[in-house]
């Protein structure tokens, strides 16, 4: 009840045992770890038949339902073994990672190069914004992955399609945030600078750009996430290499452990990228007054 009880209660009674104090200090980590361990044990038990054995005296023969085949759900130990194999023994995943990484970086770079200038221009020139706003809104409401079959017709099944789908997904949050950012610039600051006859370029450099940076970073964080959708979807739709392709091929061969390795690799990359962006945003955000 953090909201209704904003003040800590743990320290009103004088002597608290050390174990309790330790628990209270690290409650978040302890509870979180506990749940993750429980989840992993439950999962492992489903595959190894621990629960089937435990429930057998109670349920009789129908307890067998509590054991599942490894091709159906795999298990934490099987996934760990597969991960070890793929990363360190055969090293097959590195090639996929390099392949996916290349299209990701290219697509994201293209999205930044197009999206941010487009958004800034739309925010600055009113008439230009009237012209592009309907198009941006329509594209933004569309699930852009629906363009995949069109992209395949236009540029084939090669790396071009994947770069373009990543671009399409990532460019909209960048452009929309850049647009909103210029719009929310304090008009008083601009008027003051303009009264001191600052040129457009100077206005842009000293007022618009600094005040838009938090928005641009927020847009970039969204774009990073969208781009990952693009990588995965572009690859599972039709590609020979890449982590998404690996996941899709392993899935159709019922190599469930390999699928999990791929998914977890993407989770790790996603968590890392988002965390890096958060840190950068927090650094830049320091100036903002607390709301």
Partner 1 sequence: MTIPAHGEHYGDRRRPALARLYLAHERLAIGAGTLVGLLLAWEAFGRSGLVDPLFLPAPSQIAQAGWGLSHDADFWNDLAVSGREFILGYAAAVAVAIPLGLAVGLSRRLQYMLGPFVDTLNAVPRVTLLPLIVIWFGIGIWSKVMVVFLGAVIPILINTQAGVKTSEARFIRVARSFSASKLKVFSSIILPGTVPFIFTGLKYGAGRALLGVVVGELYASTAGLGHMIAEAGNTFQTDVVFFGVLIFMATGLVVVAFLDVFERRFERWRPDLH
Interface of this chain with partner 1, residues 92 to 131, rule: CB under 8 A:
123-127, 129-131
Give the shortest CB-18-to-partner 1 separation in angstroms.
21
Residues 119, 178: contact at Cβ < 8 Å?
Answer: yes
Q: What does the DSSP assignment read for 206-266? A: IIIHHHHHHHHHHHHHHHHHHHHHHHHHHHHHS-SSSHHHHHHHHHHTT-HHHHHHHHHHH
Give the shortest CB-88-to-partner 1 separation in angstroms.
23
In the list 117, 154, 210, 279, the residue contacting partner 1 (rule: CB under 8 A) is 154
Distance from C-alpha of 243 to C-alpha of 270, rounded to nearest angstrom = 13
Q: Which stretch, 33-41, 45-53, 54-62, 113-121, contacts partner 1 (CB under 8 A)? A: 33-41
Q: Report the residue number, 35 or 53, with the smaller CB distance to partner 1.
A: 35
In the list 10, 25, 34, 276, the residue contacting partner 1 (rule: CB under 8 A) is 34
Q: Is 187 a binder of partner 1 (CB under 8 A)?
A: yes
In the list 83, 86, 120, 182, the residue contacting partner 1 (rule: CB under 8 A) is 182
Give the shortest CB-57-to-partner 1 separation in angstroms.
29
Q: Report the residue number, 41 or 53, with the smaller CB distance to partner 1.
A: 41
Q: Which stretch, 48-56, 105-113, 184-192, 282-290, contacts partner 1 (CB under 8 A)? A: 184-192
Distance from C-alpha of 216 to C-alpha of 176, rounded to nearest angstrom = 9
In the list 107, 115, 119, 244, the residue contacting partner 1 (rule: CB under 8 A) is 244
In the list 25, 267, 276, 280, the residue contacting partner 1 (rule: CB under 8 A) is 267
Residues 93, 255: contact at Cβ < 8 Å?
Answer: no
Distance from C-alpha of 260 to C-alpha of 266, rounded to nearest angstrom = 10
Q: Scanning the structure block, which residue is given the tokens 């965390």?
A: 275
Instruction: Check the CA dihedral 192-197-202-208 and report its sign.
Output: positive
The residues, ordered by sequence, that sit 6+ positions from 110 with a Cβ below 8 Å of its Cβ are: 163, 167, 171
Q: Is 225 a binder of partner 1 (CB under 8 A)?
A: yes
């Amino acid at each position: 009840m953090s909201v209704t009880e904003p003040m800590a209660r743990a320290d009103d009674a004088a002597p608290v045992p050390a174990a309790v104090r330790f628990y209270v200090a690290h409650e978040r980590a302890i509870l979180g770890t506990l749940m993750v361990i429980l989840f992993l044990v439950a999962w492992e038990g489903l595959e190894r038949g621990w629960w089937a054995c435990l429930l057998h005296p109670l349920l009789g023969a129908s307890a067998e339902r509590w054991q599942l085949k490894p091709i159906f759900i795999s298990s934490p130990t099987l996934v760990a073994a597969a991960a070890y194999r793929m990363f360190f023994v055969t090293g097959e995943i590195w090639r996929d990672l390099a392949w996916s990484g290349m299209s990701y970086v290219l697509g994201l770079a293209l999205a930044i190069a197009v999206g941010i200038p487009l958004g800034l221009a739309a925010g600055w020139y009113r008439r230009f914004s009237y012209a592009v706003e309907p198009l941006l809104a329509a594209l933004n409401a569309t699930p852009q992955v629906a363009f995949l079959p069109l992209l395949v017709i236009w540029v084939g099944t090669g790396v071009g399609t994947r770069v373009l789908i990543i671009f399409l997904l990532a460019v909209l949050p960048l452009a929309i945030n850049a647009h909103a950012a210029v719009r929310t610039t304090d008009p008083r600051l601009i008027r003051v600078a303009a009264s001191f006859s600052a040129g457009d370029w100077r206005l842009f450099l000293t007022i618009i750009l600094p005040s838009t940076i938090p928005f641009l970073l927020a847009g970039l964080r969204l774009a990073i996430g969208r781009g990952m959708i693009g990588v995965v979807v572009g690859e599972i739709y039709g590609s020979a290499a890449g982590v998404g392709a690996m996941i899709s091929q392993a899935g159709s061969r019922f190599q469930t452990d390999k699928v999990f390795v791929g998914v977890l690799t993407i989770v790790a990359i996603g968590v890392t990228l988002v965390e890096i962006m958060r840190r950068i945003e927090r650094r830049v955000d320091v100036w903002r007054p607390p709301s």
